[in-house]
Chain A
């Protein structure tokens, strides 16, 4: 059973302890990974998540992933890290190489949901602020509160003054989420753009992993 978003944000998710391959992922990707797993019958993939709020403290990600790999590696044949660089400045990639595990390519989830290649070509979008399904649901916990806007609304323009639009990169078709994303844009004073991305490179990457020989 998947815990609620608050638990995924603050605590993460423990593995079930079944399967030969373990995915160590960001809590913000739990739902998407489990959806792909169910869709493709990847029963041999187990999932553990680190708390999604590490996103705000990227300097802590590399060590947290390393600890996860060391803790679980004896129990699985194969471990795959479902993080992109996420602001570790190449340190996560270097650590994964050292540990002999692979990870998702690209700078961050906004890029791999869009597709890394397509995202790199979007150079007219520099004033866009992206939200994924998870971030729309957790907007208050991930954006509004950490940026202090619940207490100091006057900070909004210091933080978002350089931005022009909010792009909701939708992984699923969900009218309620779309409405909420639109509302987030209004709260930030940004124009709203809806873009259905589906699972993007997350799907192709996991598929490639699933085809690895045992």
Chain B
């Protein structure tokens, strides 16, 4: 951090400048500054949902793009996610009170045998930021644990993550079990993780493969809208 940055007094900035500054602070993983920025915007009567989408999700989208383009690596993403988490902790109770839009529900978890969770956590957080109710069931999930979670939370979307070539095939085991039980089509199934690709997603019968969190949010919104339209038409 340069001296110049340290001299910036967030409360002196106008809204646009503050949001820009928050983008920078999120990029640099500065949790306290993000929390302060969130509180300032709230004190200026920004609705919590607007703070979340414009300042936090907006900033995190830039982080995601730069990770994808190889400009940022894992630690920067983790620090940014941490900072965003700080901001979200303030907003979450307020969002519940103010009746922010609920776009849909998602259960997300890493598959059995795999304990990579950074990407999965990021997707969960960005989905939450986009108005989804997210139940994160953690790492090393068996078929039984996925099924129990969708039974409990009744989400529109099931998300599975895998970072190992040896664990990606397990996604098919989950989907095949859902087909056997006749519940496959009750859910939108999204899959992701660095070694996966579009073709693999198709081959195992997922609804979509998403290469990053931003794509996951867009894809989820599209599919949920389609599902609702279908339900309305049928």
| A positions within 8 Å CB-CB of B | 56-59, 85, 87-91, 107-108, 111, 120, 123, 126-127, 146-149, 151-152, 155, 158-159, 162-163
For window 141-162 of B, CB contacts with A under 8 Å fall at: none
Bound together, the chains give a CA A152 to CA B164 distance in angstroms of 26
User: SS class of chain A's interface: helix, strand, loop or mixed?
Assistant: loop
CA distance A163 to B196 in the complex (A): 23
Is the pair A87, B140 in contact by a Cβ cutoff of 8 Å?
no
Given contacts A59-B194, A123-B113, contact A85 B165 (CB under 8 A): yes
Q: Which chain A residue shows the least CB distance to B117?
A: A162
B206 in contact (CB, < 8 A) = no
| CB-based contact A158/B78 at 8 Å | yes
The answer to whether A89 and B195 touch (CB under 8 A), given A162-B117, A162-B139, is yes
Cα–Cα distance between A149 and B115 once the two chains are bound (Å)? 19
Q: How would you classify the secondary structure of chain B's contact residues: helix, strand, loop or mixed?
A: loop
Q: How far is the CA of A127 from the CA of B114 in the complex (A)?
A: 9
B103 contacts the other chain (CB 8 A): no
A104, chain B: closest CB distance, angstroms: 13
Q: A85-B165, A89-B196 are in contact. Are A148 and B74 (CB under 8 A)?
A: yes
B220 in the interface (beta carbon within 8 A): no
Chain A: which residue is nearest B115 at the CB level? A162
Contact indicator B78/A90 (Cβ below 8 Å)? no
Option from B70, B78, B117, B197 in Cβ contact (under 8 Å) with A89: B197
Q: In the complex, A57 Cα to B140 Cα: how many Å? A: 23
A142 to chain B, nearest CB (A): 12
B75 with A147: CB separation less than 8 A: yes
Taking CB atoms, residues of chain B closer than 8 Å to A56 are 73
Q: With A and B bound together, what is the CA distance between A101 and B82 in angstroms?
A: 45
CB of B163 closer than 8 Å to a CB of A: yes
CA distance A57 to B195 in the complex (A): 11
Q: 16 other contacts beyond A148-B79, A159-B74, with CB at 8 A cut-off?
A: A56-B73, A58-B195, A85-B195, A89-B197, A107-B165, A120-B166, A123-B113, A127-B115, A146-B73, A148-B75, A151-B75, A152-B75, A152-B79, A155-B75, A158-B82, A158-B118
Mark contacts of B5-32 with chain A using CB atoms, 8 A cut-off: 1 yes-contact digit, 0 otherwise.
Answer: 0000000000000000000000000000
B36 at the interface (CB under 8 A from A): no
B115: chain A residues within 8 A (beta carbon):
126-127, 162-163
Q: How far is the CA of A116 from the CA of B76 in the complex (A)?
A: 34
Q: A91 and B194: CB pair below 8 A?
A: no
Contact residues in B for A127 (Cβ distance below 8 Å): 115
**What residues of B have a CB within 8 angstroms of the CB of A58 in the complex?**
194-195
**A98 → chain B closest CB, angstroms:** 15
Chain A: which residue is nearest B200 at the CB level?
A: A89
Query: Which residues on the B side are within 8 Å of A163 (C-beta)?
Result: 115
- Assess the B164–A107 pair: CB atoms within 8 A: yes
Residue in B76, B79, B165 with the greatest tally of chain A CB atoms within 10 Å: B165
Min CB distance A188 to B, Å, is: 14
Q: Closest B-chain residue to A57, C-beta based?
A: B70
A79 to chain B, nearest CB (A): 23
> Which A residues are in CB contact (< 8 Å) with B117?
162
- Residue of A whose beta carbon sits closest to that of B29: A152
A-B contact pairs, 15 of them (CB 8 A): A56-B73, A87-B164, A88-B165, A88-B195, A89-B168, A90-B200, A120-B166, A123-B113, A126-B115, A146-B75, A152-B75, A152-B79, A155-B75, A155-B78, A159-B118
A99 to B10 Cα, complex, angstroms? 57
Picked from B74, B82, B194, the residue with its CB within 8 Å of the CB of A146 is B74
Residue of B nearest to A90 (CB): B165
What residues on B are CB-neighbors of A126 within 8 Å?
113-115, 140
Residue of A59, A89, A107, A162 with highest tally of chain B CB at under 10 A: A89
Task: Give the distance in Å from the alpha carbon of A141 to the alpha carbon of B70 in the complex.
Answer: 17
The 5 lowest CB-CB distance pairs between A and B, nearest first, are A148-B75, A89-B195, A162-B115, A85-B165, A107-B165
